[in-house]
């Protein structure tokens, strides 16, 4: 096991995060069109990007990272299309990514010409491994790259505003691979960037803290965020943004804990598409909030619509057990689960808090029907069949009949090799008891 060592970060003491519970939604940023897109075998075309853009707007995203316009013609053209065809609603801000390199920053502002409001997101990497092995630069040199990048971003913004006075720019800086950077050094670099931009509480900049590669546990990441926030001079002049990836499968947990540690804003993608194991899944985090009675400030109530668009443009099928929206996540196969669900659903009043065993939320809230809640298969007990017959066909079976009919339903499921449809179940019931409709 000597091959792997814990991530080298400063030895932070365990911290007292300011919050124990989330009470409101963070500011959401969709990076589907950038981070999500750059991870696809077949990156999206302009038309596909437009399709997803419209869906993201409809769902209520107020900031959307639309691409890396200096990186390719498609990215540039898509940004132009949004601006030239006036496709950006008044209350939506586009965000564009760029490295801290002058010609790329210049090209980025060309793509943004005439925009009303945009976040210009500049980054350079700060982690130990990248400094030492990729860039072969000292801490001072990496910090100077960040300062220089910030200066170009500011100067080209001034030039762009002279050409187009309607344009407002918000500046965002990411110390890429923040979680693998010494946290005190990340503070130092961000402070230097702020010294260039001179943000104020009224006009804050954004400091985005990425777990570019998730390499530590969620609590350690949150410790880093908490330390960063506590030590950042002029914290009131910066929005603290979080950008986690899912290498250890904990991107959502890390983001949630980072919010508890004081972050304001979350970048992620729908269903977690993104580099390698993906970005933080906004759907899961938003629904986690929803299930605790917090308004996620995103409309996720129609997954059949937005999932179809995401699946079409990414060509990635959503796993059937994906949290909150997978095809079978409101399905109970086991008899004891079905029995418990049936009892709870029959007792559930419309005006009381949701209290149904095995169903963390009302499936209707995400456009799912009760029909999908219970399926009868060879493992089902009496309750599943009884529930379906009552809910869908108005047949209220007395207990003795439930017990009597259960083996018939199970035998049918075994014969059909799995799940039986509700219609087949109903017909089997009629035939078995020689009934007619």
Alpha-carbon separation of residue 431 from 12, 326, 434 (angstroms): 70, 34, 5
Phi-psi bin for 262: left (phi > 0), alpha (psi -120 to 50), beta?
left
Q: Which of ligand KIV, Zn ion, none does residue 174 bind (CB under 5 to 8 Å by kind)?
A: ligand KIV
Indicate whether 223 belongs to the interface with ligand KIV (CB under 6 A).
no
CB of 424 to ligand KIV, least distance (A): 49
For residues 424 and 416, the answer to whether their CB atoms sit within 8 Å is yes
Indicate whether 174 belongs to the interface with ligand KIV (CB under 6 A).
yes
CB of 27 to ligand KIV, least distance (A): 16
CB of 54 to ligand KIV, least distance (A): 23
Indicate whether 335 belongs to the interface with ligand KIV (CB under 6 A).
no
Q: How far apart are CA 375 and CA 331, in angstroms?
A: 7
- The answer for residues whose C-beta is within 8 angstroms of residue 21's C-beta and 6 or more apart is 260, 292
Q: How far apart are CA 227 and CA 218, in angstroms?
A: 14
C-alpha closest to that of 418 among 359, 366, 375? 375
Out of 149, 199, 210, 278, the residue judged to bind ligand KIV by CB under 6 A = 210
Stretch that binds ligand KIV, among 10-18, 39-47, 207-215, 387-395 (CB under 6 A): 207-215
Out of 243, 322, 375, 422, the residue judged to bind ligand KIV by CB under 6 A = 243
Indicate whether 226 belongs to the interface with ligand KIV (CB under 6 A).
no
Indicate whether 212 belongs to the interface with ligand KIV (CB under 6 A).
yes
Indicate whether 339 belongs to the interface with Zn ion (CB under 5 A).
no
User: Which of 35/214 has CB closer to Zn ion?
Assistant: 35
Indicate whether 32 belongs to the interface with Zn ion (CB under 5 A).
no
- Tokens 């010609």: give the residue: 103
Indicate whether 123 belongs to the interface with ligand KIV (CB under 6 A).
yes
User: Which of 255/425 has CB closer to ligand KIV?
Assistant: 255
Q: How far apart are CA 241 and CA 144, in angstroms?
A: 22
User: Which of 212/224 has CB closer to ligand KIV?
Assistant: 212
Angle between helices 251-260 and 218-231 (to 10 degrees): 30
Out of 55, 176, 226, 339, the residue judged to bind ligand KIV by CB under 6 A = 176
**Any idea what DSSP says for residue 43?**
P
Beta partners for residue 352, in sequence order: none
Q: How far apart are CA 305 and CA 156, in angstroms?
A: 40
Site residues for Zn ion per CB under 5 A: 35
Site residues for ligand KIV per CB under 6 A: 35, 97, 123, 174, 176, 208, 210, 212, 243, 245
């Amino acid at each position: 096991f000597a091959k792997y060592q814990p991530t080298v970060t400063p030895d932070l003491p365990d911290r007292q995060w300011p919050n124990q519970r989330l009470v409101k939604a963070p500011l959401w940023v969709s990076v589907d069109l950038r981070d999500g897109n750059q991870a696809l075998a077949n990156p999206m075309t302009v038309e596909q990007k437009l399709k997803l853009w419209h869906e993201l707007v409809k769902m209520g995203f107020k900031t959307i990272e639309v691409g890396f316009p200096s990186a390719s013609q498609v990215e540039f053209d898509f940004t132009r299309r949004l601006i030239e065809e006036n496709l950006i609603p008044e209350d939506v801000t586009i965000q564009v990514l760029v490295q801290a390199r002058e010609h790329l920053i210049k090209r980025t502002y060309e793509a943004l010409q005439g925009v009303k409001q945009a976040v210009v997101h500049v980054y350079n990497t700060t982690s130990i491994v990248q400094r030492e092995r990729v860039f072969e630069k000292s801490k001072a040199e990496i910090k100077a790259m960040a300062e220089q990048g910030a200066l170009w971003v500011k100067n080209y913004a001034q030039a762009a505003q002279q050409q187009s006075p309607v344009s407002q720019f918000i500046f965002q800086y990411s110390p890429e691979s923040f979680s693998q950077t010494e946290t005190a050094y990340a503070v130092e670099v961000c402070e230097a960037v702020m010294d260039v931009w001179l943000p104020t509480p009224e006009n804050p900049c954004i400091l985005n803290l990425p777990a570019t590669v998730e390499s530590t546990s969620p609590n350690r990441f949150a410790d880093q965020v908490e330390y960063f926030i506590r030590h950042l001079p002029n914290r009131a002049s910066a929005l603290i943004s979080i950008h986690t990836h899912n290498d250890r499968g904990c991107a959502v947990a890390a983001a949630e804990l980072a919010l508890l540690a004081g972050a304001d804003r979350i970048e992620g993608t729908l269903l977690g598409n993104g580099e390698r194991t993906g970005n933080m899944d906004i759907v899961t985090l938003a629904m986690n909030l929803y299930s605790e009675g917090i308004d996620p400030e995103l409309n996720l109530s129609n997954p059949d619509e937005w999932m179809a668009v995401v699946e079409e443009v990414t060509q990635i099928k959503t796993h059937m057990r994906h949290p909150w929206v997978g095809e079978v996540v409101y399905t109970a196969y086991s008899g004891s689960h079905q029995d418990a669900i049936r009892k709870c659903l029959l007792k559930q009043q419309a005006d009381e808090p949701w209290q149904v065993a095995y169903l963390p939320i009302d499936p209707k809230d995400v456009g799912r029907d009760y029909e999908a809640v219970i399926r009868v298969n060879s493992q089902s007990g009496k309750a599943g069949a009884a529930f379906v017959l009552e809910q869908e066909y108005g047949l209220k079976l007395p207990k003795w009949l439930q017990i009597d009919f259960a083996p018939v339903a199970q035998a049918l499921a075994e014969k059909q090799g799995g799940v039986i449809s509700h219609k087949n179940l109903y017909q089997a019931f009629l035939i078995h008891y020689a009934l007619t409709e």
